[in-house]
Amino acid sequence: MTPLLELRQVSRRFGARTVVDAASLKLFPGRIACLLGPSGCGKSTLLRMIAGLESPDLGEIHIGDRVVASPAGALPPEDRGIGLVFQDNALFPHLDVQANVGFGLTGLSRADRTQKVLRLLDQFQIRRLASEWPHSLSGGEQQRVAIARALARTPSLLLLDEPFSGLDGVLRESVRGALLEDLRRLGTTVLVVTHDPEEAMAIADDLILMSEGRILQAGPPEDVYRRPVSLIAARLLGELVVVPGEVASGRIETPLGNLSAPGLADGPAQLGLRPEALVPAEGGVPATVLGRRFQGDGHRLTLDLGGVRVPLTWRMDPPEPGATVCVGFRPGDAVLFNQDGERTVSGRLPSG
């Protein structure tokens, strides 16, 4: 499939500081991609370069078969066929909802403009708000209006910068689910920027990880979660238990036992596990309970496992601090990293 958007080694500098460093990515038609990274890692600058609000110092940005930005020149934002919604939605306070959505529809007759706007309001289930003013809308309603306005000019790509950050709790989840359902039904190609790993995993068809200006990894969310390319990439998606080990002759000695370690050179190495990969196990490795905390579906224990602090979900009567429990893990959920925190060639830990 031909990508709708492609970035090729794109960099952006502000003075001596490189904010985006040789970033490459591809976005495919009709899919929702999520760009995940901590605050200040360059996500919004990357989005602004795609939209045409910033120009790259190096590299090229392609939309379809056109180069829309390079050091040699750039198309203006209005000629790129891109819709952009910032996290504050930025509705015009002096225009009602219908006028906000129709604001960019120049060149259409009044009847055609009204018909298109009302169709968008129907698609986003906000026609009842057509004559309301922005200040009277809830956060979720303002967001729907802003996205409808961005789609009014039928862009090939919609960019959303932290679109759900102003919403809390249950409202955030319900608005997010309904909005993304609408966008999928319309077949819209979307790039969402977020710093929330749970949100990224929930919404993305394709997940892109970014840290310190660099794209670390891209792919389906499950692959990126289960097969991170580095410890840095793994930690962007949540808690990771790192168990040190020593490799000799294709095996690694760790507090969890002596395990097969194909592809790792002799010397120090690391075993990465998501907390859910650790389980209570009869005959497993003994560990000392350091503390416990109720978490709704059971207790979360903090254990000392051979000098390494590890978490363990416990759904039986919880042991007291100082007690000994036995821990096992699912080898298929473990990832091998070298001393520098980079994943080995296979990355997976076989049984045995």
Residue 10's H or E segment, with its range, is: strand 5-14
Whether the per-residue pLDDT at 352 is higher than 60: the answer is no
Tell me what pLDDT residue 351 has: 52
- String of DSSP letters for 76-111: -GGGTTEEEE-TT----TTS-HHHHHTTT-TTS-HH
105 class by beta-carbon count within 10 Å (0-12 exposed, 13-18 middle, 19+ buried): middle
Q: What is the pLDDT of residue 346?
A: 55
pLDDT tier for residue 323 given thresholds of 50, 70 and 90? very high
pLDDT, mean of residues 203-219:
96
Of 3.40.720.10, 3.40.50.300, 3.30.1330.60, 3.40.50.880, which CATH number belongs to 5-235?
Answer: 3.40.50.300
Strand order, beta sheet including 251-254: 257-260, 251-254, 241-248, 267-273, 334-338, 343-348
CB 333 within 8 A of CB 274: yes
pLDDT digits (tens, 9 = 90+) for 238-249: 999 999 999 999
DSSP 176-235: HHHHHHHHHHHT--EEEEES-HHHHHHH-SEEEEEETTEEEEEE-HHHHHHS-SBHHHHH
Q: Is 347 exposed, middle or buried (0-12, 13-18, 19+ CB in 10 A)?
A: middle
Q: Specify the DSSP element, H or E, that contains 50.
A: helix 43-51
Q: Decide the pairing of beta strands 324-329 and 334-338.
A: unpaired
Residue 305 has pLDDT above 70, yes or no: yes
- Residue partners of 170: CB distance under 8 A and separation at least 6: none
- pLDDT score of 158: 92
pLDDT of res. 345: 61
Q: Where in the chain is the domain with CATH 3.40.50.300?
A: 5-235
Amino acid sitting at position 8 = R
Q: What residue has token string 């990894």?
A: 217
Query: Of the spans 141-145, 152-156, 218-222, which averages the highest pLDDT?
Result: 218-222
Given this model, what pLDDT does residue 291 score?
96
In this prediction, residue 169 carries a pLDDT of 67
Whole-number Å distance between alpha carbons of 17 and 273: 34
27 token code pair: 């976005």
pLDDT given for residue 165 in this prediction: 74
Determine the pLDDT at residue 150: 86
The phi and psi torsions of 138 (rounded to 5 degrees) equal: -75, 170
Q: What are phi and psi of 274, to 5 degrees?
A: -70, 150
Rounded to an integer, the average pLDDT of 219-238 is: 95
Question: Residues 206, 219: contact at Cβ < 8 Å?
Answer: yes
pLDDT at 285: 94
pLDDT band, very low/low/confident/very high, at 17 (cuts 50, 70, 90):
very high
| Structure confidence at residue 349 (pLDDT) | 60
100-114, 226-240, 282-296, 313-327: the lowest-pLDDT one: 100-114
pTM of the model: 0.87
Compute the mean pLDDT over every residue in the chain, rounded to the nearest whole number.
90
pLDDT, tens digit (0-9, with 9 covering 90-100), for 110-149 = 899 999 999 889 888 889 999 999 999 988 888 888 888 9
The pLDDT value given to residue 175? 73
Q: What local confidence, expressed as pLDDT, does residue 104 receive?
A: 80
Structure tokens at 17: 């500081």
Q: Do 142 and 126 form a contact (C-beta atoms < 8 A)?
A: no
Q: By the 8 A CB rule, do 265 and 336 touch?
A: no
Q: What pLDDT is stored for residue 350 in this prediction?
A: 56
